[in-house]
A and B are shown apart, each in its own frame.
Chain A
Amino acid sequence: MKKPHTIAERRQISLNRHNTLVGLSFILPNFIGFALFILIPVIFSFILSVCKWDGFTAIQFVGLENFSNIFKDRVFKASLQHTIIFTIFSVVCTMSLSLMLAILLNRKIRGVNFFRSAVFFPYVASVVAVGAVWNAMFLKDGGPVNTMLQALGVSNPPGWFASTKWALPGVIIVSIWKNMGYFMIIYLAALQDIPSTLYEAAVIDGANGWQKFRNVTFPLLAPAHFFVFMMLTINSFKVFDLIWVLTDGGPGIATKVLANYIYDRAFVSWNYGYSSAASMILFLIIGTITIIQFTVQKKFDDVM
């Protein structure tokens, strides 16, 4: 390395060092906590996924055995399947409903704030309260949902959380109800960015309401569709506490999802290796989606 000669060079180096120290001093208080409690556990999780451990005996390296074992595990396969079904239905339904709500509410009409708040409130309500009330709402006999269905002429309403067939649809309905307000807000923000001149031009061209939606609104929302789709997919794969408070994965394993599996293997059967291997699968799925999102988002940003 070359030694600095001139005073100017030397001053520059000491200034750089000073800047680095000041910069680090700002970041350090947060970074220490972040490294200790998030970064290190993440790395630890990678290690655990290739080891056999119950927390008490010595850790044993087993390679990819955990992975091949969980893929033979009936419960894991069911959990993965439920997670995928849950994701598909919540994503499609939440997306269409939140878009519809955003379009309905993207007007200066009386009471618009009330409607927006009403739709958004479930998102900030705690899962515990949400779980309590929906468990009552969906009660098989005498629950308000079934009482209303019967009043509407459904003679044999579903058993919801008591039935293996209807528990997953029930959970999906609650998840849509809870999250649509959040994505409505994102769509509303995107709708406000569409220049009104485009609509004026469409009107001059004689477009009706549906044509305006199809040819102006919908295509111009592409970045928002993409963002909402990705966020919803990621959130749905991670779904955990909502299912916990509604059904706890039951009845049987009818609504068990990946996160439940990870939790059970870690804190119920103390099989740390299985749990971490399953969490790696979750990580891989979400990681892939995130990378796709980052690359495509960048493209949108370049175009727009």
Chain B
Amino acid sequence: MQITKENRLSSIARYVGLVIIAILTLLPFVWMLSASFKSDIDVFSVPIQWIPKTFHPENYVKIWTKIPLGLFTYNSIKLTVIITLIQLVTSSFAAYGFSKCRFKGRDTLFVCYIITIAIPWQVYMLPQYIMMQKVHLIDTHLSIILLQSFTAFGVFLLRQFFQSVPNELLEAARIDGLTEYGIYARIMLPLSKPAMATLTIFSFVSVWNDFMGPMIYFNSTRNKTIQLGIRMFISQYSAEYNLIMAASLCSLVPVFILYVSFQRFFIQGIATSGLKG
């Protein structure tokens, strides 16, 4: 009797704690949602109106007419899809080479990859910029595509997974006469769907959310991504927080949908690239 009572008390305390934490972490998003439906004079009214007195869904229409949000979204989607695809193809290819092909210098080369993961991007952002300037690629989408498609992280993540595939399986395929390329395409890729999904999601989120890269490289409006577009919007309509919140919320939607539907891949990705790395 005593024990169950104590348990119930502690589980109530636990719930109270969790609810408080969840409210605190979600508060900014709730406020964002609520502000995006308010008129601009109601945004900062005291006391806070968590549920707007009058709803202004037209805010969401307005933002599309004030800045070319459609174009920005298109640019973001274009970059995200292209970079993610190149990453998937080249990283999985390289990961196969690093985990299942044996040749001299392989491990030294891989160490080079690992070291660059540890080097902060700020260290080489300037040389990258100078290089792109020399080949006249500043203010083109190609610059960001080239710079972000060949990450060591993707190779590392997939290699980690590929290594767990038993060599006997590949050996059997070799005896059956499959070439290494055949094994890669017909055995490795189908087996590594979860790892590929993890990489896809990580790459999608990081390219979609990236702000500094596009900010350094894209000057003209026609090239801007959604993140840059929202920054542009903020500087132009700095007082209209309701519209800023509506635009920011729109930019969060794709990541939110992806996150809710593929949560386990996020968690898996962190677990493999984290502790076991």
Q: Is the CB of B21 within 8 A of A267?
A: no
Kindly identify which residue among A142, A245, A276 contacts B126, using a CB–CB cutoff of 8 Å.
A276
Chain B residue nearest to A103 in the complex (CB): B14
Q: Is the CB of A286 within 8 A of B118?
A: yes
Please tell me which stretch of B58-66, B142-150, B163-171, B190-198 contacts chain A, meaning at least 4 of its Cβ atoms lie within 8 angstroms of it.
B142-150
Q: Is the CB of B124 within 8 A of A127?
A: no
Q: Contacts A37-B147, A118-B22 given; indicate if A126 touches B255 (C-beta within 8 A).
A: yes
Chain A residues with CB below 8 A from B104, complex form: 16, 20
User: With the chains together, A259 CA to B125 CA distance in Å?
Assistant: 11
**Shortest distance between the CB of B218 and any CB in chain A (Å):** 14
**Shortest distance between the CB of A160 and any CB in chain B (Å):** 14
Q: Is the CB of B211 within 8 A of A245?
A: yes
A104 on the interface (CB 8 Å rule)? yes
B1-48, CB < 8 A from A: 10-11, 14-15, 17-18, 21-22, 25-29, 31-32, 35, 43-48
**Shortest distance between the CB of A158 and any CB in chain B (Å):** 17
Kindly identify which residue among A45, A55, A185 contacts B267, using a CB–CB cutoff of 8 Å.
A185
Chain A residues with CB below 8 A from B118, complex form: 234, 286-287, 290
A132 on the interface (CB 8 Å rule)? yes
Interface flags for A249-274 (1: CB within 8 Å of B; 0: not) read 00000000011001100110000100
Q: Is the CB of A177 within 8 A of B122?
A: no
CB within 8 Å: A-B pair count: 262
A6 on the interface (CB 8 Å rule)? no
**Shortest distance between the CB of A256 and any CB in chain B (Å):** 13
Q: Is the CB of B146 within 8 A of A33?
A: yes
B108-148, CB < 8 A from A: 109, 112-113, 116, 118-131, 133, 146-147
Which of A25, A38, A182 has its CB near the most chain B CB atoms (within 10 A)? A38
Q: Is the CB of B209 within 8 A of A16?
A: no
Q: Contacts A33-B150, A134-B28 given; indicate if A139 touches B97 (C-beta within 8 A).
A: no
Q: Is the CB of B124 within 8 A of A42?
A: yes
B245 on the interface (CB 8 Å rule)? yes
Binding site for B on A (CB under 8 A): 16, 19-20, 22-27, 29-31, 33-34, 36-42, 44-45, 48, 55, 101, 104-105, 107, 109, 111, 113-115, 117-122, 124-130, 132-134, 136-137, 139, 141-144, 147-148, 151, 177, 181-182, 185-186, 189-190, 209, 223-224, 227, 231, 234, 237-238, 240-241, 244-245, 258-259, 262-263, 266-267, 272, 275-276, 279-280, 282-283, 286-287, 290
Instruction: List 24 A-B pairs, Cβ < 8 Å.
Output: A16-B104, A19-B101, A23-B101, A31-B109, A33-B149, A38-B116, A42-B123, A45-B123, A45-B127, A118-B22, A124-B259, A124-B266, A125-B252, A125-B255, A127-B227, A128-B231, A128-B248, A129-B32, A147-B47, A189-B270, A259-B122, A262-B126, A266-B125, A276-B126
Binding site for A on B (CB under 8 A): 10-11, 14-15, 17-18, 21-22, 25-29, 31-32, 35, 43-48, 89-91, 93-94, 96-98, 101-104, 106, 109, 112-113, 116, 118-131, 133, 146-147, 149-150, 152, 155, 180, 184, 205, 208-209, 211-212, 216, 227, 230-231, 234, 241, 244-245, 248-249, 251-252, 255-256, 259-260, 263, 266-267, 270-271, 274-275
